[in-house]
Amino acid sequence: MDTIHFLFFGFGTLFSPTILFACFIGVLIGTLVGVLPGIGPLGTMAILLPVTFAMDPTTAIVMLAGIFYGAQYGGSTTSILVNIPGEASSIVTCMDGYQMARKGRAGPALGIAAIGSFIGGTLSVIGLMFLTPPLAKLAIGFAAPEIFALVVFGLMMVCSIGSGSTLKALIMATLGIFVSLIGREPMQGFARFTFGSFTFSDGVGLIPVAVGMFGIGELLTNIEAMAKQEVFKTDLRHLFPSLRDWYDSRWPIIRGTLLGFFIGIIPGPGMIVSTFFSYWTEKHLSRHPEKFGTGVIEGVAGPETANNAAATGAMVPLFALGVPPNPVMAMLLGAFIIHGIQPSPFFITEHPRLFWGIIASMYIGNVLLLVLNLPLVGIWVRVLKIPHRLLFLLIIICCFIGVYSLNNNFYELYIMIFFGIAGYILRKLEYDPGPFILAMVLGPMMETNFRQSLAISRGDPAIFLQRPISATLLILVLLLLLSMLLFRFRRRRKEG
């Protein structure tokens, strides 16, 4: 009953015109970002973060969260109509969604994608609402050693199951931790790695780095790969699936919700993993697996439900433990910190208005997304036809204005440009920038808890092994490292 009472409290917070409008703007921008192949929710959140400085924390976080889960809805439109995933998590949707469009069934494909996303997103919010408070209560006993070990474990999980080479991911995470150390030392206040620069004395700002690496860098990559893409012409009048489509999609939607939510909680690229796992599950449980890839609606319903459920599941470790499981949640954590809020096991008790307001906004946001996605498909199709060069120019202008407006510091534009070029080069060399930004956000938390632990033990590092939870987490980190080395050794031996 307490949970229901707090939920009504959250709805009371949400039904403020300002917060409700922020929720609407967030999901609208998120859908647009998902529809247009480009910078994605991470870059968009980085660009728009300066806009939130004048807002109160609840309004700002509600808008940024709306961008994140709204982008999961919009990504299916380009996957089905253009065979280009608007989001990485929509890659699987291309397999059957585009084939359905080629058969003249783009309407049911878009309809079941939107409805499945709504069901998965809404049911996952219920899971978030009931699972986060008890998990936070369990984690209240965490002290500095446990938090340090948890951060290291989460970072290692992201590196080990992320996209691309694990070694490259570890290199990027190490560089991210190094960049987070630039500036004033937190305990004694002396300058580190500033090279006498006044701009670096307060550290390298998260926003210039994120906008450069995920805004400018992503745009440069897209400009290089830009090609003329024709939107598939098809009849979009019949968007609602038939009774047969509903019958075939019922179990994929249920399974996609469960798989997506629980995979999303695991640190790593939960949305992408959940969609592939959902597709694999549906194909192996189907009576006609040979038809997958030729335009079956189960291949759209399951993955599209899973990616929205995973987006909500990813918020559980952030709200309950204060540890982001992926780079987008790291950006949301950065927004919390900028607004003077530190997510931790005490987050729900210290900021109930914010937590339950976000929960309530996700219920309303999912309804708004369903209302936006079905009737406005025709508009999204027209948006897809806008020349990319005009969109890219507008985004670059927004990047420069957003970063300069932070502190009116011209040198931060140089930082943004540097990390934009670095992000482009790193993508060319197949280095994933996600672990970098995640490590940059978690670096100060890791350092602070490490030094507090040593202060408690008077310099004895054995404290991490003397406490059961921190010892278990660090042993798991060691096992992950050993398994990666073993896998690398076996692969080289096989290639030899």
CA dist list (Å): 226 to 77, 378, 487: 19, 23, 36
> Mean of the per-residue pLDDT values for the chain?
80
| Three-state secondary structure call for residue 385 | coil
Longest dimension (CA), the chain: 71
Per-residue pLDDT at 238: 64
Confidence of residue 312 (pLDDT cuts 50, 70, 90): confident
Residue 252 CA to its chain's centroid (Å): 23
Residue 56 CA to its chain's centroid (Å): 22
Mean pLDDT along residues 180-188: 79
Provide the token pair at 32.
């647009």
Choose from 379-393, 396-410, 421-435 the range with maximum mean pLDDT. 421-435
Is pLDDT at 198 greater than 80 in this prediction?
no
Kindly report, residue by residue over 318-339, the tens digit of the pLDDT: 888 777 877 788 888 888 888 8
Q: Which residues pair with 184 in a beta bridge?
A: 191
Residue 174 CA to its chain's centroid (Å): 21
d(CA 17, CA 12): 11
Task: Kindly report the length of the chain.
Answer: 496
- Helices 217-225 and 411-428 pack at an angle, to 10 degrees, of 50
Is pLDDT at 173 greater than 60 in this prediction?
yes
As a whole-number percent, the residues of the chain with pLDDT over 90 amount to 2
Kindly report, residue by residue over 20-74, the tens digit of the pLDDT: 899 999 988 888 877 776 566 777 787 787 788 788 888 988 998 888 888 877 7
d(CA 97, CA 384): 17
Is pLDDT at 465 greater than 80 in this prediction?
yes
CA dist list (Å): 440 to 48, 279, 329, 361: 19, 33, 13, 28
Provide the token pair at 296.
């079956």
**Is pTM beyond 0.85 here?**
no
Kindly report, residue by residue over 117-128, the tens digit of the pLDDT: 889 888 998 888
- Please, where are the H alpha helices in 266-409? 270-285, 298-313, 315-321, 327-338, 347-350, 352-373, 377-384, 388-407
| Three-state secondary structure call for residue 1 | coil
Provide the token pair at 190.
């002396």
Per-residue pLDDT at 37: 61
Kindly report, residue by residue over 85-127, the tens digit of the pLDDT: 656 667 778 788 888 887 878 788 888 888 888 898 889 988 8
Vertex 330: Cα angle to 328 and 331 (nearest 5): 65
Is pLDDT at 278 greater than 50 in this prediction?
yes
Is pLDDT at 174 greater than 70 in this prediction?
yes
Given a contact cutoff of 8 angstroms between Cβ atoms, the answer to whether 456 and 466 are in contact is no
Nearest by Cα to 97 from 107, 276, 63: 107
Per-residue pLDDT at 228: 47
Is pLDDT at 231 greater than 60 in this prediction?
no
Confidence of residue 255 (pLDDT cuts 50, 70, 90): very high
Is pLDDT at 306 greater than 50 in this prediction?
yes
Nearest by Cα to 473 from 453, 494, 459: 453
Specify the DSSP element, H or E, that contains 183.
Answer: strand 183-184
Provide the token pair at 65.
């969260």
Residue by residue, DSSP assigns 422-466 as HHHHHHHTT--SHHHHHHHHHHHHHHHHHHHHHHHTTT-TTHHHH
Per-residue pLDDT at 254: 92
Q: Which residues pair with 183 in a beta bridge?
A: 192
**Structural domain boundaries of the chain?**
2-488
Least confident of 55-59, 199-203, 204-208, 375-379: 375-379
